[in-house]
């Protein structure tokens, strides 16, 4: 069911750190691109599972919606003057943030089980 | 707080990936130390990205914030790397670098640079140096054509490191200012056309660069709109803002368009 996991988390900080590391190992000839792909697929799965199991934080986001877009079940929002209100009243402000949201569908949920 | 939980989550992900992928490495006939190398590279990159306060591997490290490491004289104040990690830092810049990680690469590429012109390297906002890095490139070609040649020599070294990183986002209209300037020289209207070119170029770059600086990866459960009021329920998100990462299980968003 590895294909049931989203790949777009690879663009996150930890995902980019992994792809950079894999690139280095491919360049030095230590691993093949095929093995690197397997690692990335494992990352998709491990990240999604770990997030579901271990991340409990809830937050609210307010801001001015500058741009919205729905394409192939992927929402993209660009929010200006965004404020994330975390737990314990921690507030994070940013003048501009892009949100990429894939569908949280039953197929994905089934794949996580 | 969702930033505090980041190190443990990231460690759990790294450990899970490494443990789960071991059979595949055996299947491909790749030695176990390559897997360890991958793990140490990955961990050191995550730590160097400073997206959260990672505990240094050695408990003694916090008492020696300025260890005598070879790269300590760059004035970079990230968490002191372990010996295994400093080995990674001496390696040449890799390919496939995201703009956010251009900082890390820039650190390795510093020695050949003409001068210590990255005072903002230790700032919290990682993408900031990346944008600094980009500036000489966009200004260089435009200025080099219609300014006198003395300025050229000063500008010349700046674009060099960038060409050493073909994987970095290159300015799309890189050749255009040059052509535009040559035409403009013939028309004796170099200034106007150059300003126009660089303006649009910068806007395009900002459009491209800024989303990378502050970004959320998540899934959505519900997105609803009433007139210009938007409400959405987002799940399993990774927020990257101000050089820091935050995680959420659920985020309720309310926007006005």
Reduced 3-state DSSP string for chain B: CCCCCHHHHHHHHHHHHHHHHHHHHHHCCCCHHHHHHHHHHHHHHHHHCCCCCCCCCCCCHHHCCCCCCCCHHHCCCCCCCCHHHHHHHCCCCCCCCCHHHHHHHHHHCCCCCCCCCCHHHHCCCCHHHHHHHHHHHHHHHHHHHHCCHHHHHHHCCCHHHHHCCCCCCCCCCCCHHHHHHHHHHHHCCHHHHHHHHHHHHHHHHHHHHHHHHCEEEEEEEEEEEECCEEEEEEEEEEEEECCEEEEEEEEEEEEEC
Tokens representing residue B256 in the block: 């006005």
- CATH 2.30.18.10 positions along chain A are 60-112
Which site among B4, B34, B38, B223 would you substitute to test the A interface, given the most A Cβ atoms closer than 10 Å to its Cβ? B38
Which of B77, B208, B71 is CA-nearest to residue B130?
B208
pLDDT digits (tens, 9 = 90+) for B34-44: 999 999 999 99
Do A14 and B30 make contact, defined as CB atoms within 8 angstroms?
Answer: no
For residue B21, the chain A residue with the least C-alpha distance is A39
Do B13 and A43 make contact, defined as CB atoms within 8 angstroms?
Answer: yes
- Between chain A and chain B, how many beta carbons pairs sit less than 8 Å apart? 226
A:52-81 residues touching chain B, CB 8 A cutoff? 52, 54-65, 68, 70, 75, 77-79
CATH superfamily of A60-112: Transcription factor IIA (TFIIA), beta-barrel domain (2.30.18.10)
Q: A2-54 in CATH: which number?
A: 1.10.287.190
Residues of B in contact with A72 (CB under 8 A): none
Could you state, in order of their start, the residue ranges of all structural domains in chain B? 6-91, 127-212, 215-256
Q: Is B215-256 assigned to CATH 3.30.2350.10?
A: no
Low-confidence ranges of chain B (pLDDT < 70): 1, 55-212
Residue of higher predicted confidence among B149 and A46: A46
A:30-49 residues touching chain B, CB 8 A cutoff? 30-32, 34-35, 38-39, 42-43, 45-49
Beta carbons within 10 angstroms of residue B155's beta carbon: 16
Alpha-carbon torsion angle B160, B166, B169, B175, nearest 10: 60
Residues of B in contact with A11 (CB under 8 A): 98, 215, 217
Give the pLDDT band (50/70/90) at residue A37: very high
Q: ipTM of the predicted structure?
A: 0.89
- CATH 1.10.287.190 positions along chain A are 2-54
Tokens representing residue A80 in the block: 């200006």
CA distance A101 to chain B (A): 4
By the 8 A CB rule, do B222 and B252 touch? no
pLDDT digits (tens, 9 = 90+) for A56-75: 999 999 999 999 999 999 99
């Amino acid at each position: 069911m590895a294909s049931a996991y989203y790949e777009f988390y690879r663009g996150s900080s930890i995902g980019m750190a992994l792809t950079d590391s894999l690139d280095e190992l491919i360049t030095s000839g230590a691993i093949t691109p095929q093995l690197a792909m397997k690692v990335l697929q494992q990352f998709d799965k491990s990240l999604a599972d770990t997030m579901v199991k271990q991340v409990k934080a809830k937050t609210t986001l307010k801001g001015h919606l500058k741009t919205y877009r729905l394409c192939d079940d992927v929402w993209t929002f660009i929010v200006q003057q965004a404020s994330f209100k975390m737990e314990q009243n921690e507030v994070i402000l940013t003048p501009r943030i892009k949100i990429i949201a894939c569908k949280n569908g039953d197929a994905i949920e089934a794949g996580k089980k | 707080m969702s930033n505090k939980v980041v190190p443990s989550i990231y460690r759990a992900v790294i450990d899970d990936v490494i443990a789960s992928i071991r059979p595949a490495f055996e299947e491909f006939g790749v030695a176990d130390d390559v897997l360890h190398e991958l793990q140490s590279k990955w961990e050191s990159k995550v730590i160097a990205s400073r997206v959260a306060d990672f505990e240094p591997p050695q408990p003694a490290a916090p008492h020696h914030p300025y260890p005598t490491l070879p790269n300590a004289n760059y004035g970079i104040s990230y968490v002191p790397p372990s010996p295994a990690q400093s080995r990674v830092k001496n390696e040449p810049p890799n390919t496939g670098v995201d703009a956010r990680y251009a900082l890390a690469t820039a650190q390795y590429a510093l020695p050949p640079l003409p001068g210590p012109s990255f005072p903002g390297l230790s700032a919290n906002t990682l993408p900031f140096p990346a944008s600094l890095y980009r500036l000489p490139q966009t200004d260089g070609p435009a200025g080099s054509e219609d300014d006198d040649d003395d300025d050229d020599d000063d500008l010349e070294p700046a674009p060099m490191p960038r060409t050493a990183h073909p994987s970095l986002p290159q300015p799309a209209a890189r050749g255009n200012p040059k052509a535009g300037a040559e035409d403009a020289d013939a028309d004796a209207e170099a200034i106007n056309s150059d300003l126009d070119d660089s303006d649009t170029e910068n806007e395009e770059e900002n459009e491209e660069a800024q989303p990378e600086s502050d970004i959320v990866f998540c899934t959505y459960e519900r997105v609803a709109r009433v007139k210009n009021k938007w409400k959405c329920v987002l799940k399993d998100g990774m927020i990257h803002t101000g050089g820091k990462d935050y995680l959420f299980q659920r985020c309720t968003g309310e926007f006005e368009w």
